Amino acid sequence: SGIVFSDRPVVVDEKVSIELTEYWYDRKGSSKGDLVLGVTTVDPFTLESANLPPNAIPHLTNREGYWAMRIRRQRIVPGDVMTVFVSSVGNLMYSVNDKDKGVLIPDLPTDQPLWVMMDMDG
């Protein structure tokens, strides 16, 4: 599975950055898939990697404690740095190359541990 998690819960306003180093391309030279970013209240260390589903959306997001959104491949390219953080009001905010893109996911529970998760969908 291509789903990865932070190695510990993040704290409110803690920024997590991910550099997109490459994309898979099809035979026509088009990139395949979208970047999926989200959070979970489920401790990833309790999960068996062999039992992870192929995609976060919808296989994890239809379960309690998982939230994720796609960032369309047309909006990001290799070399871009994605940064996310959970705000004090429970919004997952994101930016690309230090340019604020706003709220990715609203209404997250800030009273519980939250792990960042990422998936390449496609």
Over the chain (122 residues), the average pLDDT of each successive run of 10 is 90 95 60 82 93 90 96 81 97 97 97 95 59
- Count CB neighbours of 119 within 10 A: 25
Structure confidence at residue 121 (pLDDT): 63
pLDDT digits (tens, 9 = 90+) for 51-81: 889 889 999 999 999 999 998 766 788 899 9
Structure confidence at residue 120 (pLDDT): 78
Q: Identify the structural domains of the chain with CATH numbers, from first to last.
A: 4-121 (2.60.120.920)
